[in-house]
Amino acid sequence: MESPLDLTPKKFDYYEPTSLNEAIQLLETKEEAKVMAGGQSLLALMKLRLAAPKSIVDITKLEGLSYIKEENGYLAIGALTIHDMIELSPVIKEKYTLLSDAASKIGDQQIRNRGTIGGSACHADPAADLPTALVAADASFVAQGPKGQRIIPSGDFFVDIFTPALEHDEVLTEIRLPNSPPHSASGYIKHSRREGDFAITSCGVVLTTGRGNTCEDVRIALGSVASTPLRFMNAENYLRGKALDDKTIIEASNQKPEGANPPSDMHGSKEYRMEMIKVFTKRSLKLALGRVK
């Protein structure tokens, strides 16, 4: 008889492919197979018996999926790139600062040394840091499967809580971030009980300014307030074309976030989280504005 306190996963078959094609073939043929990258989320769920895959396909040692490089018009990040590399990358710190902000707030150093950006995206936890930052950054996701490669925009990738838009036999291989125009900057802030905890509320902003300090374009994403990272469209629409000052930023932050339906739990009530959306949207906008060169 199993103990109710038993924190061991149910039995599973373990595979460690040496190529991407082999990994895809395993996902095609093995029953209820699950991809594992850093394992920082999946293993925890398995120990709690909240996930019980019959097969694990560990892609950790696949070569060529850990990199950060600038291509024509975008930044390419390999799916196996660990959080620590995201946080410390000079090009990300300079041009995609909200990703560095978000990575620095994930768990502790041990987790950041093992967890991967692709694993975090595929886990699709709306309270996690990188998915919210990636939606704000207008990322696209490159998936490889038996039918070939396809590119999924951020607006379509996060389907529901813990549900990415990947087929069971697809592997996420790369995340692409578009280059921002001049006079752009970004920032990510989260509200949590302790450093490294999941967000009670979080906000990522990518901002582009024009003449007279006007808002030329803006993307705002909210975390931990819906079943997926949520675009704050009403605030974005309010800001575009307006001069960016304290009054405008406050009024934008007070707009109604369509689709926000945060839970009430031990960390805070729904009403409290709705108020925190205003606070952290304002702070994130001011952070991004202060970084615009």
DSSP-derived 3-state class of residue 205: strand
Q: What is the pLDDT of residue 3?
A: 53
Indicate the pLDDT class of residue 212, thresholds 50, 70 and 90: confident
| Mean of the per-residue pLDDT values of the chain | 94
* pLDDT number for residue 1: 47
User: Which one-letter amino acid corresponds to residue 63?
Assistant: E
Cα angle 19, 25, 26 (rounded to 5 degrees) comes to: 90
The predicted structure's pLDDT at residue 49: 86
Kindly indicate the confidence band of residue 225, based on its pLDDT and cuts at 50, 70 and 90: very high
Q: Is the pLDDT of residue 264 over 60?
A: yes
The yes or no reply on domain 68-178 and CATH 3.30.465.10 is yes
The answer to whether residue 144 scores a pLDDT higher than 80 is yes
Answer whether 68-178 and 184-291 agree in fold.
Answer: no
Inter-CA distances, 245 with 166, 184, 220, Å: 41, 16, 17
- CATH: 3.40.50.970, 3.30.390.50, 3.20.20.30, 3.40.30.10. Which one for 184-291? 3.30.390.50
pLDDT at 6: 66
Region 262-288 average pLDDT: 95
Contact indicator for 154, 135 with CB cutoff of 8 Å: yes
Q: What is the CATH number that goes with domain 13-58?
A: 3.30.43.10
pTM of the model: 0.94
Higher-confidence residue: 136 or 1?
A: 136
40 contacts 135 by C-beta, under 8 angstroms: no
| Cα–Cα distance measured from residue 276 to residue 255, given in angstroms and rounded to the nearest whole number | 13
Structure confidence at residue 45 (pLDDT): 87
Domain ranges in the chain are: 13-58, 68-178, 184-291
Give pLDDT, residue 158: 98
Amino acid 47: pLDDT: 87
Burial class (CB within 10 angstroms; exposed 0-12, middle 13-18, buried 19+) of 11: exposed
Confidence grade of residue 4 (pLDDT, cut at 50, 70, 90): low
pLDDT of residue 254: 98
pLDDT tens-digit profile of 151-175?
999 999 999 999 999 999 999 999 9
Pairing of strands 230-231, 215-223: antiparallel
